[in-house]
Amino acid sequence: EVQLLESGGGLVQPGGSLRLSCAASGFTFTNYAMTWVRQAPGKGLEWVSAIDLSGGYTFYADSAKDRFIISRDNSKNTLYLQMNSLRAEDTAVYYCAKDRGGDDYAWSWGQGTLVTVSS
């Protein structure tokens, strides 16, 4: 069974930084791209960033470019999201997701971690 366990969320002041982690199990981590998706309170899903199988290629939504850094440690089956220069509008639940692998586009989702940016 696929399990994705996010951690690292919390309350941070505007301009601050936070690092999210996502521990993956139940599948071959190195066979899948991984993604971060966020959901602001009462709003829809917004894709944030994705990373390829090896970690050599990273992709960002415009809202995350130049502020967020996605990475993965395949030896630890763990995905990360380093978030810098945080703004109030970054307040959201952040979900880690197993993205596509080969022709398998069946995403799996974690339970999410709440990030609140407020003074």
Partner 1 sequence: NFMLTQPHSVSESPGKTVTISCTRSSGSIASTYVQWYQQRPGSSPTTVIYNSNHRPSGVPDRFSASIDSSSNSASLTISGLKTDDEADYYCQSYDGTNRVFGGGTKLTVL
Which one of 9, 23, 67, 107 is in contact with partner 1 (CB under 8 A)?
107
In 3D space, the residue among 113, 41, 33 whose CA is nearest the CA of residue 79 turns out to be: 33
Binding of partner 1 by 1 (CB under 8 A): no
CB 47 within 8 A of CB 59: no
CB 93: neighbour CB atoms within 10 A?
17
Segment lying near partner 1 (by CB under 8 A), choices 16-24, 68-76, 84-92, 106-114: 106-114
Which one of 59, 77, 82, 101 is in contact with partner 1 (CB under 8 A)?
59
In the window 16-35, what residues touch partner 1 (CB under 8 A)?
Answer: 35
Binding of partner 1 by 7 (CB under 8 A): no
Alpha-carbon span 83 to 32, nearest angstrom: 22
Q: What tokens were used for 47? A: 């894709």
Positive or negative: CA dihedral 44, 48, 54, 57: positive
Binding of partner 1 by 57 (CB under 8 A): yes
Q: Which chain residues interact with partner 1 by CB under 8 A?
A: 35, 37, 44-47, 50, 57, 59, 61, 95, 99, 103-112
